[in-house]
Amino acid sequence: MNASTSLIQVRGLGKLFILHNQGGIRLPVLRDVSFDAGPGDCLVLAGPSGTGKSTLLRCLYGNYLATEGSIRVRDGAAWVDLTGAPEQRILRLRRELIGYVSQFLRVIPRVGTLDVVAEPLRERGVDAEAARAQAAALLERLNVPRRLWGLPPATFSGGEQQRVNIARGFIGGHPVLLLDEPTASLDADNRAVVVGLIREAVAAGRCLIGIFHDEAVRDRVATRILSIQPAVLADTPE
Amino acid sequence: MNGAALLSVRDMTCTWDGVHGCRDISFDLHPGEVLCVVGESGSGKSTLLQAVSWQVRPEAGSVWYDTRDAGPVDLATLPAARLRLLARTDWGFVRQNPRDGLRMQVSAGANIAERLMAVGQRHYGELRQVAGNWLQKMEIDAGRLDDAPAAFSGGMQQRLQIARNLVTHPRMVFMDEPTASLDVSVQARLLDLLRQLVADLRLAAIVVTHDLAVARLLAHRTLVMRGGRVVESGLTDQILDDPQHPYTQLLVSSILQS
């Protein structure tokens, strides 16, 4: 893939955690990660637990600060370096360009499920009715029972919350979508629905980067695999 | 000054006694953005709020505000009358204790209508109607319009204080610990209401709080203060999930449940 068609370029990315209140322990989690991804990619991050796959996704979303290297994303004709961008710029990128489905839904008290899912569209200025209609269609497809739509998802089961989270992630139509184990707590039927959503997004030219521990799901969605090596072992020549 | 900013603070220092207060503060706030200032008691966060809202004049540095009629102005250059008008129409102030922000002797309706009357609205029926609408928006029964705030619960008083401030459609609201005086059971309701209001009205807000959960729920960006200085600033989720400064790490690790 060449630079003109990619949407995201990562070069020499490293992440080191320093725990100041625990004797200044230094935890190197990522070292020298480089890749490009573009429209129609579903890049799957592979590697054992603890190698920093979730950390990498969080860096790509600006949720974690990269310690070294660069993360550049293409916004129209311009490249933006996420690692040095002003906060307002990152917020705009999150609204318009980069979506993120976390492992767990962060529940907002008193906000009903339909509005939780519709929120990313509302933030972009879509009117309430249209946003709710799209949210309803996604919840329907993900088999979230209609009787739950008016309720805040705080009391839902893990699988129901995860489907609400997936609907909220997919609704925005972000050109780049980061997925952290979206199918982890789902049954087979709902896994199949999510696989369908992912394949449609890829076919539509969106760029997905995700972590999937379920091999069957991984094989059905991946267009490429990026193997993440533990940072502490990265010094060992291969 | 950054062209798109509503409020620009540059190298501002404001102390009470030459020692305590806040020092070398710089940040921009854009329309529709909520900024939380967190830190322990005595970290200078309330002084910062008073200085950027010109309730106390800073000793050094500048505060620029993008006025509706004349664009960005240095607040130090504004005559007192213009500042008063700005404070009463374009800004809102929500105090920690609603009794400090309300007039307790007059009715709820009069509390809401006061700012409208200050900018020249006199029609009794219209004032009453606007006040009633705001009560309902704040989830208070419109039938309580003629009751004195003293008869309200703490949570209702705090919502009334917010209505009183928002009735003139300010663009900028300053809040000092808006939920701290409330029972935990009514905090969530107020926070959710605030969250909706700032989004619907595209309010810019600076919220001082010691409660990181308030920052998580309300704020796009967060400043962490200690000893009068900003030790860390960034997107709220980044500050809370990947804190860099030793003090921020201590604050975040002290949250009971995340």
- Report the pLDDT value the prediction gives residue B3, as an integer from 0 to 100: 55
| Cα separation, B155 vs B153, whole angstroms | 5
Residue A17's pLDDT is what?
96
Output the pLDDT for position B254.
86
Which residue among A63, A65, A91 places its CB closest to the CB of B220?
A91
**C-alpha–C-alpha distance, residues B198 and B190, integer Å:** 12
Nearest to A194, CA basis, from A229, A166, A172 = A166
Band of pLDDT at residue A68, cut at 50, 70 and 90 = very high
Stretch A93-122: mean pLDDT? 91
With CB atoms and an 8 Å threshold, state whether A87 touches B221.
yes
Name which of A90, A91, A109 is nearest B192 (Cβ-Cβ).
Answer: A109
- For residue B257, what pLDDT is reported? 56
Of A226, A186, A184, the C-alpha closest to A209 is A226
Please give the average per-residue pLDDT across A71-86, as a whole number.
Answer: 94
Q: Which two tokens stand for residue B22?
A: 């806040």
Residue-wise pLDDT for B166-201, tens only, equals: 999 999 999 999 988 888 878 888 888 888 888 888
A238 CA: distance to closest CA in chain B (Å): 31
What gap in Å lies between CA B215 and CA A131, rounded to an integer?
26
pLDDT at B236 over 60: yes
Q: Of all helices (H) and strands (E), which one includes residue A209?
A: strand A207-211
Q: How far is CA B21 from the centre of its chain?
A: 18
Contact flag B237-A63 (C-beta cutoff 8 Å): yes
Q: What is the mean pLDDT of chain A?
A: 92
Window B:140-199, CB contacts with A under 8 Å:
188-189, 191-192, 195, 199
* E strand map for A136-199: 176-180
pLDDT beyond 70 at A3? no
**Residue B33 sits at the chain A interface (C-beta within 8 Å):** yes
Q: Which residue of B has its CA nearest to A107?
A: B217
Q: Which residues of B touch A63 (CB under 8 A)?
A: 235, 237-238, 241-242
Q: How far is Cα B179 from Cα B189, in angstroms, rounded to an integer? A: 10
Q: Which of A65, A87, A108 sits opposite B242 (nearest CB)?
A: A65
Name chain A contacts of B30, Cβ cutoff 8 Å: 88
Say yes or no for a CB contact (<8 Å) between A87 and B188.
no
User: Vertex B128, ends B123 and B131: CA angle to 5°?
Assistant: 125
| Residue B217, pLDDT above cutoff 70 | yes
**Site from A15, A20, A61, A87 to mutate, B interface, most B CB atoms within 10 angstroms:** A87
Q: pLDDT tens digits, residue range A161-178? A: 999 999 999 999 999 999
Closest-CA distance, A63 to chain B, in angstroms, reads: 5
- Alpha-carbon distance B238 to nearest alpha carbon in chain A (angstroms): 5
Work out the pLDDT band at A216, boundaries 50, 70, 90.
very high
Contact A21 B234 (CB under 8 A): no
* Neighbouring C-beta atoms of residue A213, cutoff 10 Å: 12
Any chain B CB within 8 A of the CB of A87?
yes
How many angstroms from the chain centroid is the CA of residue B81?
22
DSSP per residue over A19-43, as a string? EGGGTTEEEEEEEEEEEEE-TT-EE
Could you tell me how many CB contacts below 8 A there are between chain A and chain B? 50
Answer yes or no: do B188 and A111 touch at CB < 8 A.
no
Query: What residues of chain A, 215 to 234, have a C-beta less than 8 Å from chain B?
Result: none
**Interchain pair A110, B192: CB under 8 A:** yes
pLDDT at A108 over 90: no
- Identify the CA nearest to A166 among candidates A115, A104, A112: A104
Average pLDDT for B212-234: 95
Instruction: Give percent of chain B above pLDDT 90.
Output: 77
Cα distance between residue B212 and residue B252, in whole Å: 8
Minimum-distance CB partner of B188 among A19, A110, A123: A110
- Which positions in chain A touch B31 (Cβ < 8 Å)? none
Task: Judge whether A147 is closer than 8 Å to chain B, CB to CB.
Answer: no
The residue type of B63 is V
Q: How far apart are CA B105 and CA B63, in angstroms?
A: 35
| pLDDT class of A235 with cuts at 50, 70, 90 | very low
Q: Domain spans of chain A? A: 38-64+95-233
Give chain A positions within 8 Å (CB) of B33.
88
Range from A107-116, A155-164, B218-227 carrying the lowest mean pLDDT = A107-116
Whether residue A1 has pLDDT greater than 50: no
Helical spans, DSSP H, in A145-184: 158-171
The CB-side HSE value for B205 (13 A sphere, CA atoms) comes to: 30
Chain B contact for A79 (CB, 8 A cutoff): no
Confidence check: pLDDT of A29 > 90:
yes
pLDDT at B157 over 60: yes
With beta carbons under 8 A apart, name residues in chain A contacting B237.
63
Q: Which residues of B touch A111 (CB under 8 A)?
A: 192
Examine the pLDDT at A33 and tell me if it is beyond 80.
yes
A108 touches chain B (CB under 8 A): yes
Closest CA to A117 of A147, A142, A138: A138
What are the distances in angstroms from CA B61 to CA B27, B35, B54? 12, 20, 12
Mean pLDDT of A96-104: 93
Beta strands in chain B (DSSP E): 7-15, 21-29, 34-38, 60-67, 71-74, 91-94, 172-176, 204-209, 221-226, 229-235
Q: Is B221 on the interface with A (CB under 8 A)?
A: yes
What pLDDT band is residue A4 in, cutting at 50, 70 and 90? low
What residue ranges define each of the domains in chain B, with the CATH number in brackets? 1-90+172-258 (3.40.50.300), 95-169 (no CATH)
Rounded to whole angstroms, the Cα distance separating A220 from B39 reads 48
Average pLDDT (B130-144) is 93
Q: pLDDT digit string (tens) for A45-55? A: 999 888 999 99
Closest approach of chain A CAs to the CA of B178, in angstroms?
Answer: 17
In which band, very low, low, confident or very high, does the pLDDT at A237 lie, cut at 50, 70 and 90? very low
Position A238 confidence tier, pLDDT thresholds 50, 70, 90: very low
**Residue among A177, A168, A98 at smallest CA distance from A134:** A168
Residue A20 has its nearest CB partner, among B4, B234, B249, at B249
Q: Does this model's pTM top 0.90?
A: yes
Q: Which superfamily, per CATH, for A38-64+95-233?
A: P-loop containing nucleotide triphosphate hydrolases (3.40.50.300)
Burial of B31 (0-12, 13-18, 19+ CB in 10 A): middle
ipTM, interface predicted TM-score of the complex: 0.91
pLDDT at B18: 83
Scanning every residue of chain A, which has its alpha carbon at the shortest distance from the alpha carbon of B234? A87
For residue B226, the model assigns a pLDDT of 96
In 3-state terms chain A splits into helix, strand, coil percentages (rounded to 5) of 40, 25, 35
The whole-number pLDDT of residue B193 equals 85
Q: Is B76 touching A (CB cutoff 8 A)? A: no
